[in-house]
């Protein structure tokens, strides 16, 4: 494309927006609302997933050994566990450590009773591994593998917690897909209407351009540019507002509701918007292009 043609296409696309100010503003407002809602929903979802991930990180599978197993054999089992893709980390807990934790819980306030066991550990065969997973939905396959290892007596897992967290993640995925689809359809519909009005207003001009030899691409390009410009404007504005709002909200919550810090840990602004900004811009441009492209094919027979 020559520079003059590119500049003409860009100028005509901007002129189309200006000539149909009301419809263009309605499309930009709707696009902004869609991207804003998408951004709000995305921010909530990623922070919720972060909370769920934190809960998942505390769910562990406990592996107990057969009686009389040597330390070397236990370490060998640990090496086999570490090779599994499901495993994020493993922690070895010795029989002595298990007994100390038991004492803290069951002899609290009556520590003198534990002195009777000073030279005798009743949990001598309680050494075990606490195995943490990358994804709690992988628990079933991991447990099956662990139970098949030689030297493993018992594997304890949190089936209820794993199933609940897996269902939560699946629900979040379904709801996210549904809301995004609805927002896309609404935005495409309104941009399509705006471009349709532009075609109707310029129908005679388009006919003259065709008579003097204008190519189909030359005629269609300004409407594509119009849709893309609406998409860009309609995504930049809400992303800027969201960036400011998110930063203010996490600072406000951190200052006024400090007790929530142990329950809800907001993701940093940069981490959220390093993904949200490019995705929002791509959505805006993509919706604008798709809406104008579909409309041209339907209403502009050139």
Q: How many CB atoms lie within 10 A of CB 118?
A: 7
3-state secondary structure of 29: helix
**Rounded Cα–Cα distance for residues 211 and 163 (Å):** 67
Q: What domains lie within the chain, and their CATH numbers? A: 3-55+164-299 (no CATH), 60-157 (3.30.70.3040)
Count of residues in the chain: 302
What is residue 137's predicted lDDT score, i.e. its pLDDT?
77
**Rounded Cα–Cα distance for residues 280 and 119 (Å):** 65
Residues 29-56 have pLDDT tens digits of 877 888 888 888 888 888 877 777 776 6
Q: What angle do CA 82, 85, 91 make, to 5 degrees?
A: 35
Using a 10 angstrom Cβ sphere, with 0-12 exposed, 13-18 middle and 19 or more buried, the burial of residue 218 is middle
Query: Phi-psi region for residue 131, left (φ > 0), alpha (ψ -120 to 50) or beta?
Result: beta
Residues 107-141 have pLDDT tens digits of 555 555 555 555 555 566 678 888 888 877 788 88
- Computed on alpha carbons and rounded to an integer, the radius of gyration of the chain in Å comes to 31
2's enclosing H/E stretch is: none
Judge contact between 121 and 96, C-beta under 8 A.
Answer: yes
Contacts for 10 with CB less than 8 Å, ≥ 6 apart: 225
- Averaged pLDDT for residues 1-17: 69
Residues 207-248 have pLDDT tens digits of 666 677 666 666 777 777 877 888 888 889 999 999 999 888
CA distances from 163 to 29, 45, 136, 158 (A): 41, 19, 8, 9
Q: Name which residue leads in pLDDT, 259 or 141.
A: 141
- Position 93 pLDDT exceeds 70: yes
Q: Name which residue leads in pLDDT, 60 or 173.
A: 60
**Rounded Cα–Cα distance for residues 174 and 172 (Å):** 6
- Position 88 pLDDT exceeds 80: yes
3-state secondary structure of 155: strand
Judge contact between 153 and 66, C-beta under 8 A.
Answer: yes
């Amino acid at each position: 494309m020559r520079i003059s043609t590119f500049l003409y296409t860009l100028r005509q696309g901007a002129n189309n927006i200006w000539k149909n100010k009301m419809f263009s503003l309605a499309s930009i407002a709707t696009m902004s609302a869609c991207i804003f809602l998408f951004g709000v929903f995305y921010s909530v979802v990623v922070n919720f997933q972060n909370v769920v991930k934190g809960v998942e990180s505390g769910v562990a599978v406990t592996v107990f050994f057969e009686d009389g197993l040597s330390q070397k054999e236990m370490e060998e089992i640990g090496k086999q566990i570490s090779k599994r893709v499901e495993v994020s980390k493993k922690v070895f807990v010795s029989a002595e450590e298990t007994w100390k934790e038991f004492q803290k819980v069951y002899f609290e306030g009556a520590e003198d009773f534990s002195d009777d066991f000073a030279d005798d550990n009743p949990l001598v065969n309680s050494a075990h591994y606490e195995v943490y997973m990358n994804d709690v939905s992988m628990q079933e396959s991991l447990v099956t593998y662990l139970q098949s290892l030689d030297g493993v007596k018992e594997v304890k897992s949190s089936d209820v917690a794993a199933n609940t967290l897996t269902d939560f993640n699946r629900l979040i995925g379904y709801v996210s897909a549904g809301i995004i689809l609805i927002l896309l359809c609404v935005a495409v519909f309104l941009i399509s209407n705006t471009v349709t009005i532009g075609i109707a207003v310029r129908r005679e001009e388009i006919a003259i351009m065709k008579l003097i030899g204008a190519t189909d691409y030359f005629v269609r390009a300004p409407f594509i540019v119009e849709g893309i410009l609406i998409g860009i404007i309609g995504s930049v504005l809400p992303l800027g507002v969201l960036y400011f709002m998110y930063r203010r909200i996490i600072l406000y919550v951190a200052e006024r509701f400090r007790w929530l810090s142990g329950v809800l840990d907001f993701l940093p602004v940069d981490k959220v918007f390093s993904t949200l900004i490019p995705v929002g811009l791509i959505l805006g441009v993509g919706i604008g292009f798709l809406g104008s492209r579909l409309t041209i094919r339907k209403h502009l027979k050139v």
